[in-house]
Amino acid sequence: MTDSQITSKQAPQPKPWIEAIHAYVPGKSKGKDGRPLIKLSANENPLGTSEDALAARAQAPALYPDPDSTALREAIAAKHGLAAARVVMGTGSDELLNLAAQGYAGPGDEVIYVRYGFSVYDIAARRCGAVPVVAPDADYGTDVDALLALVTERTRVVFVANPNNPTGSYLPRGEITRLHAGLPADVLLVLDQAYGEYVAPEDDDGSLALAEAHDNVLVTRTFSKIFGLAGERIGWATGAPGIVATLNRIRGPFNVSNTGQAMALAALGDAAFVEASRIHNRDERARFVAKLDTLGNHGLRPLPSQANFVLVLFEGALTAEAAFEGLADRGYIVRWLPGQGLPQALRFTIGKPQDMDTIAEALREMAEAAQ
């Protein structure tokens, strides 16, 4: 049979719910002309990673890794006062978010998340045939009542990122507790804390304690953000033993590499690097937002953020698209998210001080010129 005789009917047909998925769009690092740009589009740590982690990379063996990441899980558990048996590792927290949906939802079931939530939730729901149900936001923030209002007997999983990406919004402990209390016991609440380490300790939302105390809460965390190990793909999750067992059944058998395990273990031990990163982010974010606040008369509105990025709305003459292009011309790539229903916004990862100053100044110039 020649190629031309193979009709589409004879070719393998993907499942319709897989065909409905829009593939994840990562933050770019190059301009249209292929020029490398300073990348503030993927919420990476501008300080890099811990020197201890870099040193550990060279020592990692090239054989199969420990399939259970035992030493790393024990270190994570010790750091957070958890039982190691209640910690499961993932190839990035992405893997764990997908496994949570796959383990608990299937065709006909419903998976709820908030509008402007992390884009992987939609993919995670659809790839197991479940129906994504999107709750309205409250001025770009997570609205607990809106989430609870959508719960039906078909609801199996609720995803909440706290802080949320791309909005940066944050629910305080009372709201997280209220959300959990309003959910039926057979609905899995996934609390995605990819940016959890950026939150000041006194503002902790209580997610880890909730996961320890209840049978229907899973908390996910990552080494990609504050630890600066995005390239190694290391995430972890904690929840009740039954949930951890479910994820262990379906995760990749050697899902965290030797280098990943070694680097994460070393990074976890370098508390000084993590704290320096948090303080740098807190201070630079405040400085950047204060500068943008002076551009309010030009329609620029930075949303409150507890994460390592700020979402800025462009509600005046300067559009988000024009600002995106103008910044690329000046050597910076940030995140424009029309595909997520945010054509009016840009997300800026908090970078080095001089870069944030240059960007704020460029936005002022462009906003004034657009008047």
Ligand X SMILES: Cc1ncc(COP(=O)(O)O)c(C=O)c1O
Site for ligand X in 91-110 (CB under 6 A): 92-94
| Dihedral over alpha carbons 294, 298, 299, 300 (to 10 degrees) | -50
Give 92 or 302: the residue with its C-beta nearer to ligand X.
92
Q: Does 196 sit near ligand X (CB under 6 A)? A: no
At closest approach, how far in Å is the CB of 108 from ligand X?
A: 26
165 vs 238 by CB, closer to ligand X = 165
Closest residue to ligand X, based on beta-carbon distance? 92
What residues form DSSP beta bridges with 111? 132, 157
118 binds ligand X (CB under 6 A): yes
Interface with ligand X includes 205 (CB under 6 A)?
no
C-beta of 224 vs 238, nearer to ligand X: 224
Options 38, 194, 240, 310; binder of ligand X; rule CB under 6 A: 194
Regarding 167 and contact with ligand X (CB under 6 A), the answer is no
Report the site for ligand X in 235-264 (rule: CB under 6 A): 235
Q: What minimum distance in Å lies between the beta carbon of 211 and ligand X?
A: 16
Stretch that binds ligand X, among 53-61, 87-95, 128-136, 315-323 (CB under 6 A): 87-95
| One residue of 165, 255, 259, 308 binding ligand X per CB under 6 A | 165
Residue 197 as a binder of ligand X (CB under 6 A): the answer is no
With respect to ligand X, which residue has the nearer C-beta, 219 or 318?
219
- Of 13-21, 71-79, 126-134, 222-230, the segment contacting ligand X by CB under 6 A is 222-230
Smallest distance from the beta carbon of 26 to ligand X, in angstroms?
A: 9
Residues that bind ligand X (CB under 6 A): 43, 92-94, 118, 161, 165, 192, 194, 222, 224, 230, 235
